Amino acid sequence: MQNLIKSKIQKIIKRCRDTSIQHIISVSFTVISVVGMVTVGGALSLRFINSTEYMVSENNKSMLDQVNLNLDSYLRNMMKVSDATYYSAIKKKDLAIESIDKEMNLLYETNKDSLISICVFSEDGDVLSASPLGQLKGSVNPSKSEWFSKALTKKENLHFSTPHVQNLFVDPDYKYRWVVSLSRAVEITNNKKATSGVLLVDINFSGIEQICKNVNVGKSGYVYLVDREGEIIYHPRQQLIYSDLIEENNKEASNYEDGNHTETFQGEKRLVTIKTVGYTGWKIVGVMPMADITSDYEQISTFAIFIMVFAIFILVFLNMFVSSRIANPIKSLEKCVKKLENGVKDVNISISGSYEVQHLGTAIRSMVNQMHTLMDNIMTEQESKRKSELDALQAQINPHFLYNTLDSIIWMIENENYDGAIIMVTALARLFRISLSKGKNIITVRDEIEHARNYLTIQNIRYKNKFTYSIETDEKTLDFASIKLIVQPLIENAIYHGMEFMGGDGEILVKTYSKENDLYIDVIDNGLGMLQEIADTLLTSESKIEKKSSGIGLKNVNERIQLYFGKNYGVEIYSEPDEGTTISIHMPGVDFYEMKKKGELR
């Protein structure tokens, strides 16, 4: 398994490595932009959600505070009515003697909108006084009511009941009103005897309803009211709850602390805000379905997704465009290079795109041009090398020289000068051996000098000692490498141009030495010499003087040296009329055997 994954990853990496620059740019840009968009979008929407939730819950809280304030003042008002009835009417008067109807009527009239009735009951449940005045229904026994018993069991408190139908008095319109009963135990002075009784203030339920009804908590949120035990006092869909058509989480809600809670009720997540009303212990419960908040998010998030997709769409195209702008010049350049690789000669290297790529293009173009000239140069060089080698080869078997020499030998033998003939033939044989030297182009200085010596020997005999010669060699230089047959043409020149007119006192000196690690071979004669200006032209221009020689003259020697060792080396001519000429061969001082080891010989 691990191996599989590894190989897969490697495959992907390999594929990445092999893909084009355009692909890499466009894909990586796109990935980055998509990741960026998603992160930014996600972060923003998360922030949005958080702040909205916070705002909504704060909003709900302040809304409930407002409801609480209203409800509290409403209930306090009712309690004041109860207090006023008790302290300013009931306590002050003996009910057996005086009537409190006037005071109660006044209180009732001033609070008519929010009251249904104010009544005082005796301990047994008889009506002592009531406002508005009404006839107690025959079927009703107030002392059995909950509010009555509660008031008597806890005398010091005021009691708020749950909503119920007021059924105490006969109503000619058959109206049944829902009320919340505020009851308290009172002390009644009856015939100067203090007895206890119950004071009942029936609060019109619609007053409470009005307070809670028009509270808007979100789109589909609502506010309801429960008492200490969780019984519903007010609910916008109260009748539906009573009819079991819907349910409410009121029992749970009564256990909540004040503040915000989230709960899941009947599969619906909702935000519940609780506020306890002072004194009564009622709780205002604000319910807001989470869907109200989240439906907003959904809309916003779909919008955000749309924007994101749209932006990604545009970005991808932008990336594609940019990457093609970057990559296309490189690609065309690469194509040109590929053509070059395949050996196509006339490639027009494109120069386009950004500055860097343009620079690359021009550099490659100039490189190619340079390469072409270099290649041309090499070709011509090779050509001339071949030609000069051929020339040298020809020189090895100069028929004219051979014929003259053999002629001399014949002549010697005829004159019975056998010793001379033997010397001649031996020298000739050696000459040819060296000049062949197994077809090698590079030989030791020793052999080269030997070759020159043999040549000089032969020529000296042929020219009947018209000149003398000497060879001075530096021991150090003898093992250096030298190009084959470069000294002999110079000697030939010296003999033809220097010695022929000398009449016996011509001298030729061949000298080898090394200076600053370079090898020098000088051929010095004391012949006619020439002007230095003429000498300087010998190596450069086509000189007619050469024609007389064996055909390979100075120029050939110079060229061959330079072809082998470079332009720094070659032949130098120093001459002065009537003084003589010095031709100096300059070559690098390289040990022949080392060269051989390295295999640089040809």
Partner 1 sequence: MKKKKKQTFIILLLLVILSFLLLLNDTLGHENDKRTYNISIITTGKNSESLMIMKQGIDQAASEMNVDISFVTLSEDNNAVEQTELITREIKNKADAIIISPVDYEKMAEPIESAMKIVPIILIESTVKSHNALQSISCDNYKLGVSLGEEMIRNGKTNSDVAIIKNNLENSSVKERYDGFMSVMKNTKNKCVFWEFSGDTQLIYHNEAKAFLEYNDIDAVVTFDSDILEGFAQAKKDLSSVNKEKKSIQIYGTGSTSKIISFLEDKVISATAIQNEFNIGYLAVKSAVYKINRKSMENSNISSTVINIKNMYSDENQKLLFPFVR
- Asked if residue 132 has a cis previous peptide bond (ω within 30° of 0), the answer is yes
Which tokens sit at 41?
A: 């979008």
209 is an interface residue for partner 1 by CB under 8 A: yes
Closest separation in Å from C-beta 158 to partner 1: 22
Which tokens sit at 368?
A: 């190619």
Closest separation in Å from C-beta 310 to partner 1: 6
Q: How far apart (Å, rounded) are the C-alpha atoms in residues 212 and 206? A: 10
Q: Which of 39, 73, 302, 370 binds partner 1 (CB under 8 A)?
A: 302
Q: Which of 279, 310, 418, 501 binds partner 1 (CB under 8 A)?
A: 310
Task: Considering only the stretches 62-70, 299-307, 387-395, 529-537, report the one whose residues sit in contact with partner 1 under the rule CB under 8 A.
Answer: 299-307
Closest separation in Å from C-beta 28 to partner 1: 15
Q: Given the complex with partner 1, which of 244 and 533 has the nearer CB atom?
A: 244
Closest separation in Å from C-beta 88 to partner 1: 32
Task: Considering only the stretches 300-308, 451-459, 495-503, 561-569, report the one whose residues sit in contact with partner 1 under the rule CB under 8 A.
Answer: 300-308
Closest separation in Å from C-beta 299 to partner 1: 6
Q: How far apart (Å, rounded) are the C-alpha atoms in residues 102 and 280? A: 29
390 is an interface residue for partner 1 by CB under 8 A: no
Closest separation in Å from C-beta 116 to partner 1: 12
Q: How far apart (Å, rounded) are the C-alpha atoms in residues 160 and 71? A: 13
Which tokens sit at 568?
A: 């720094």
- Subset of 483-522 contacting partner 1 (CB under 8 A): none
Q: Given the complex with partner 1, which of 152 and 320 has the nearer CB atom?
A: 320
222 is an interface residue for partner 1 by CB under 8 A: no
Would strands 467-472 and 506-515 be described as parallel, antiparallel, or unpaired?
A: parallel
Q: Cβ distance 490 to 575 under 8 Å?
A: no
Which tokens sit at 322?
A: 């940019």
Q: Which residues of 411-443 are buried (b: 16+ CB within 10 A; e: fewer)?
A: ebeeeeeeebbebbbebbebbeebbebeeeebb
Q: Which of 313, 403, 501, 593 binds partner 1 (CB under 8 A)?
A: 313
309 is an interface residue for partner 1 by CB under 8 A: yes
Q: Which of 79, 84, 136, 312 binds partner 1 (CB under 8 A)?
A: 312
Q: Which of 79, 133, 136, 320 binds partner 1 (CB under 8 A)?
A: 320
Please calculate the CA angle 513-551-487 and round it to the nearest 5 degrees: 10
355 is an interface residue for partner 1 by CB under 8 A: no
| Phi, psi dihedral angles at 121 (to 5 degrees) | -115, 150
167 is an interface residue for partner 1 by CB under 8 A: yes
Picking from 353, 314, 362, the residue whose alpha carbon sits closest to that of residue 330 is: 353
176 is an interface residue for partner 1 by CB under 8 A: yes
Picking from 373, 364, 422, 67, the residue whose alpha carbon sits closest to that of residue 224 is: 67
| Phi, psi dihedral angles at 100 (to 5 degrees) | -105, 10
Q: How far apart (Å, rounded) are the C-alpha atoms in residues 270 and 251? A: 16
Q: Which of 48, 74, 169, 178 binds partner 1 (CB under 8 A)?
A: 178
103 is an interface residue for partner 1 by CB under 8 A: no
E strands, 23-124, are: 115-122
Closest separation in Å from C-beta 81 to partner 1: 22
Q: Which of 15, 92, 102, 137 binds partner 1 (CB under 8 A)?
A: 137
Q: Which of 35, 43, 69, 165 binds partner 1 (CB under 8 A)?
A: 165
Closest separation in Å from C-beta 103 to partner 1: 30
> Residues 223-262: x/- map of binding to partner 1 (CB under 8 A)?
--------------xxxx-xxxx-----------------
User: Using H for helix, E for strand and C for coil, what is the string for 516-555?
Assistant: CCEEEEEEEECCCCCCHHHHHHHCCCCCHHHHHCCCCCHH
210 is an interface residue for partner 1 by CB under 8 A: no
Closest separation in Å from C-beta 219 to partner 1: 10
Picking from 280, 277, 104, 109, the residue whose alpha carbon sits closest to that of residue 186 is: 104
Q: Which residues pair with 507 in a beta bridge?
A: 468
Q: Kindly list the residues in this chain that would bind partner 1 in the complex (CB under 8 A).
A: 137-139, 164-165, 167, 171, 174-178, 205-206, 209, 237-240, 242-245, 298-299, 302-303, 305-306, 309-310, 312-313, 316, 320
